[in-house]
């Protein structure tokens, strides 16, 4: 059962929690036969956007999933903060440019594919740079 200090995200394999030490996002990562959870520290402003904007929440989940699948590509806290700042707080054009660069880079389509699966989005449109509906 979810307490008032825990927040689920419909259709996404992640949840947020607030306790005495602050807010955190827990993202479920599948890698081969292994599945594990990654804890990402959140600021209050991050939690507010995650609760209010399901599209940006889905973008964040998809973008965080790929790098954490391998220990070698896991994001440092500084990189996690960069993902949060851009995906949750930047203008649409900046978010789309960031996601397109990631998706065309090492992710090799994994971010847009995750959104195709979790949100039924047109992968080709995202690969072309149109991420927001």
Looking at residue 83, what is its pLDDT? 97
C-alpha neighbours within 13 Å on the C-beta side of residue 16: 21
Report how far apart, in Å, the C-alpha atoms of 29 and of each of 10, 15, 36, 40, 127 are. Answer: 16, 12, 5, 12, 22
Residue 71: is its pLDDT beyond 80?
A: no
Residue 30: is its pLDDT beyond 90?
A: no
Contact status, residue 42 vs residue 5, Cβ threshold 8 Å: no
Residue 131: is its pLDDT beyond 80?
A: yes
Burial pattern 67-83, b for ≥16 Cβ within 10 A else e, equals bbbeeeeebeeeebbeb
Share of the chain above pLDDT 70, in %: 97
Contact status, residue 57 vs residue 11, Cβ threshold 8 Å: no
Task: Note the pTM of the prediction, 2 decimals.
Answer: 0.91
The pLDDT tens digits of the residues spanning 51-64 come to: 999 999 999 999 99
- The mean pLDDT of the chain is 92
Residue extents of the structural domains in the chain:
6-127
The pLDDT tens digits of the residues spanning 76-107 come to: 999 999 999 999 999 999 999 999 999 999 89
Residue 1: is its pLDDT beyond 60?
A: no
* Residue 84 CB coordination number (10 Å): 22
Looking at residue 106, what is its pLDDT? 87
In the structure, what pLDDT confidence band is assigned to residue 3 with cuts at 50, 70 and 90? very low
Looking at residue 47, what is its pLDDT? 95
């Amino acid at each position: 059962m979810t307490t008032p200090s825990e927040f689920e995200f419909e259709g996404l394999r992640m949840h947020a929690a607030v306790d005495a030490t602050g807010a955190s996002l827990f993202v479920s990562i599948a890698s081969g036969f292994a599945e594990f959870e990654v804890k990402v520290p959140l600021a209050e402003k991050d939690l507010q956007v995650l609760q209010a904007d399901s599209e940006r929440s889905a973008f964040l989940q998809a973008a965080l999933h790929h790098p954490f699948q391998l220990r070698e590509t896991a994001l440092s806290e500084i990189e996690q903060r960069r993902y949060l700042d851009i995906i949750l707080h930047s203008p649409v054009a900046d978010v789309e440019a960031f996601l397109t660069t990631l998706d065309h880079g090492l992710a090799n389509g994994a971010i847009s594919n995750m959104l195709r699966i979790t949100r039924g989005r047109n992968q080709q449109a995202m690969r072309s740079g149109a991420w927001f509906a």
